[in-house]
Amino acid sequence: MQQTDVRWSGSPRQGLVLHAGDAFLIPFSLVWSAGATAAAVAVLRAPSTGGPAFIPFVFCIVGLYLVVGRFVVDAVRRAGLRYQLTGTEAIVTTRAGATRSVALLRAVPCIGLRRGPGGSGTILFGFGPSGRSDNSALGFGYGIVAFEAIPAAEAVFQACIDAIDAGGAGTVLWEGRPYAGIVLRWWDWAIVLWNGLFVVGALTLGVWPLSLLFLGLGAFAIVGRCVFTASRRSATRYILTGGAAIIRTRPPWGREVVAPLTGAAVVTYRAEPDGRGTIVFGPDDIWTRMVDPAGAYGGQPRVPAFELLDTPQVVYERVMHARAGATAPGSG
């Protein structure tokens, strides 16, 4: 294991740590547990109600894990982790000292900073700012190499950028912002049509609590997410250096993301409405967009991108020139 040139070392915050998914999972787990407990009590009182009697008790066990167990599993898992950042690698080791995982900084598709309270945060070394298989809310981690719940996360994230841009590659080649207005692409119209059916169904359902829920979800999908997306882009700034594409978004709208130019398997130029363009640092096809609910519903896209640029061709040429220099033999 490479341990020279250690630029930072540390451990995750111990004890209880809440994740973004808990905003949904905590109320869901309480409702689930209440329903499962009620069903289990009904089975105990009337064992002959029909169906396998053990099923409500299985639901109770699942509910107990969601309410309490997952926090214990997460705390125990983090207790044995140790992090190191060198000039070339992000290293995660277990308590016993055996290497658990290593990420080459210039080879990962992107590095994302997920901010936390009090300057803490999580740095993800992998595909997209939210990870490819994010099971952190269930206590099992992010599915990719990550520095979880570390203090002074902004400083460590900047150290990652400096390591990628070592050797003079950090020269700023371009800096700009995306178009901050509302833009409807072809998949936006599909989302609007689909959620319009939810609104029609809600109006004809007749069950008012459920109808109001469907109306709220449909209204957000049709109108709210467009406003949300425009607000996020208005708080976003793009920076292109000789070694990386950097996306900086002011909180609380988004996360910091850096895409090493040597880590992107493909860089795609996508024409947008009104002559604008988007540069995507990674796969950009219909399947990638379909499995990206965060990007489709107003959040930061899973694949890093310079979105809705006014001069996309100029920026794209600079990106490809910088990428050629970053990947040339002896360039770093």
Are the CB atoms for 324 and 262 separated by under 8 Å? Answer: no
Q: What does the alpha-carbon distance between residue 185 and residue 67 come to, in Å, rounded to a whole number?
A: 40
Show Cβ contacts of residue 254 under 8 Å, excluding neighbours closer than 6 positions: 129, 232, 235, 236, 247, 299, 300
If pLDDT is split at 50, 70 and 90, which confidence band does 281 have? very high
Q: What does the alpha-carbon distance between residue 73 and residue 168 come to, in Å, rounded to a whole number?
A: 43
Is the four-CA dihedral 121, 101, 21, 307 of positive or negative sign?
positive
Could you tell me what percentage of the chain is helix, strand and coil, using 3-state DSSP and rounding each to the nearest 5? 45, 20, 35
Judge residue 159's burial from the number of C-beta atoms within 10 Å of its C-beta, 0-12 exposed, 13-18 middle, 19 or more buried. middle
Q: What does the alpha-carbon distance between residue 32 and residue 37 come to, in Å, rounded to a whole number?
A: 9
- In which region does residue 134 sit, left (phi positive, over 0), alpha (psi from -120 to 50) or beta (all else)? beta
Residues in the chain: 332
If pLDDT is split at 50, 70 and 90, which confidence band does 129 have? very low
Q: What does the alpha-carbon distance between residue 318 and residue 332 come to, in Å, rounded to a whole number?
A: 19
Residue showing tokens 């950042």:
85
Q: Is 145 helix (H, G, I), strand (E, B) or coil?
A: strand
Domains of the chain: 1-164 (2.30.29), 172-185+226-327 (2.30.29)
Model confidence pLDDT, tens digit, residues 288-298: 776 777 777 77
Q: Is 180 helix (H, G, I), strand (E, B) or coil?
A: coil
Give the containing element (helix H, strand E) for 84: strand 82-86
If pLDDT is split at 50, 70 and 90, which confidence band does 133 have? low
Residue showing tokens 């979880």:
148
Q: What does the alpha-carbon distance between residue 170 and residue 64 come to, in Å, rounded to a whole number?
A: 50
Model confidence pLDDT, tens digit, residues 2-52: 456 899 999 999 988 887 778 888 988 998 888 888 888 888 887 665 556
Q: What does the alpha-carbon distance between residue 300 and residue 144 come to, in Å, rounded to a whole number?
A: 18
Is the four-CA dihedral 268, 271, 275, 280 of positive or negative sign?
negative
Strand partners, 247: 238, 257
Cβ atoms within 10 Å of 115's Cβ, excluding its own: 17
> Peptide bond preceding 252: is omega within 30 degrees of 0, i.e. cis?
yes
Model confidence pLDDT, tens digit, residues 243-259: 999 999 987 776 899 99
If pLDDT is split at 50, 70 and 90, which confidence band does 130 have? very low
**In this predicted structure, what is the pLDDT of residue 131?**
45
Q: What does the alpha-carbon distance between residue 271 and residue 185 come to, in Å, rounded to a whole number?
A: 11
